[in-house]
Structure 1
Amino acid sequence: MLTGSIQITGEALSGAEIKDICDSLKESSVRLLSVRGCQLSDRDFGRVCRGVAESHSLAQLNLNLGVVSTIGRTKQLAEALKANRSLQTLFLHGSPLLDAGLVTLNGALSTHPSLVSLDLGDCMLGDEAVRLICGLFPPDGAKSGLKELTLSANPAVSTQGWARLAIAVAHSSQLRVLNLDYNPLGDHIAGMLAVSVASSRTLEVLDLEGTGLTNQSAQVFLDMVENYPTSLRVLVLAENDISPELQQQISDLLSEGEEEEDKDGEARGSSVTPREKPAWVPHSNSSSSQMVLMTSGLGESFLAETEM
């Protein structure tokens, strides 16, 4: 059966729409479900969660912008995730989860067999939530884990919490994309993240836009990319107190590294599998749709157009 997508943004969902969504989920005829910013009753949210639990086709679920608005809904979502086996990508950006919400979701997230991409940006998280998130980065392929993580705009996380995350990233065997933009990290945490990047064999994209960095951080990253081979391909430093010259130097060095890798792959011929490009999910407050490349835990990929 061909699978499709359901995308609705910022609407009050009618009973008929909820029924259509639930029927499609239960029939496993939908691969992408986005109800970003939509209004629905607690009863209808529960119906959708039961549909998610029964679906064998759903790969991407977008509940951004307050759809998961209470601890009761968080519990319903957790139960759905425990039963679901197909979901690869979960967007909860802009949900008031707090640490208690992550405690509720953690069991389902940590045991889900397919989940590889998670957006918890602007979810009012703190150190306890970060501690649990670190458990989603298994070291050395011990089990499947996250390849993409967004933690944008969670200012309640302390320096200790970010330090814990940096250590987990350094030991992660799978993480490829990490978005930490609009958190008050500062140069100290940026230095720890530079060590994480140097240690990681997989991290390709690091977004540090608007995180309170200065030329001190940029110089550390410049020294790293100049002197140590890493997997990093994209480093976002916009909206920081960093000179354009330093940003350009870093960008040029990262570009050179990617070009050299591509040439090496071509020289070795067809026996080498091309490096998989990072599945970077840019987040935006605009209502325009964006093309998003998602990657499954089995190495499959699909191109989905969704509103972030």
Structure 2
Amino acid sequence: MNDYLTNLVTRICDRSDQLNNAPTIGWQALREAEQLANHAYIPILYQYIQTETDKEKRRAAGYIIIQLSRNTNDPEVIRFMLDRLRIEQDADMITAIQQDLERGLPIPGYMNLEPLLNNTLSLNNNVRRSALLALRGSHNPQVEGWALDLLKRTVNEYDIYYITFLLHKVATRKSLPALKRLLEHPRQDVKGLAFATIADIEKEKEAMFYARCLLRGQLKFEAMEAIYKYADESAIQAVITRITELLSKRRSSPRLSLENFKNGFTDLMLGMEFLFRFRTAKSEVKRTFSWITEKRAEYLLPEEREWIQRNLVNG
């Protein structure tokens, strides 16, 4: 292998710390690898990975080649890495390859997914779940059916989450019955993913369902997000009711948390974004915004106050 790539692999494998709390040599080398776009390195790395006996060096070379694939738009690297899954025996290496595939280009629909599909049945948790994550990058319609079959077979709540996360990316109407059953799952994150996936499939056709869920207090953030994305003016009253409920008392956290802040919005912000579309046509929307700004401004989180300032005061 050429001197530069050999040196880069060595630095990626370097776990020593530098002085003054600076990034490690390995961390800096990984960031360097992410910028590479020299296609001529790819065949060199193929040969290196096939012959190198040191697991950590193969791991580093795999990371580099996936970055090159992404930066040069070469999907054939994906085929090479899928073939490596048949050869590697070490669970950590298999997991690492699948993590690289997850970060790489989408897997073309014509490529053989058998190695990844087989690994979703592994007894090793990391192998199984990293395979499910890697499959999210596939355009092959086979994946949806496979995921639905897995869902029937497992009772492991963590696997169910990863399968649902996969379906969130690949599901079609074929998955709707299974997704609706998942709305009754005890895990909130599974229910939330299932709801969001149903909304992305059904879109405006289920607008009233999203509004009913919001009024019933079921998956409130997900219901508000679905309304924001897909509902029309028929959901106005449900959104006003939810906003009134949210601002009926001070919320305990003065700052946003993962629970009340997703994708850049709180559910209150999503509700206000939705209502903002109807601010000039609907008197009840005007009254709601007046109530928020005049009576409940101090109940808003800082990010929500910024939204008010940007859209209602300066807008």
Indicate the TM-score class for this superposition, using the shorter chain for normalisation: 0.3 to 0.5
Q: TM-score, normalised by structure 1?
A: 0.46
- Which fold has the larger relative contact order, with Cα–Cα distance below 8 Å and residues 6 or more apart in sequence? 1
Answer 1 or 2: which has greater helix percent.
2
Q: TM-score, normalised by structure 2?
A: 0.45
Answer 1 or 2: which has greater strand percent.
1
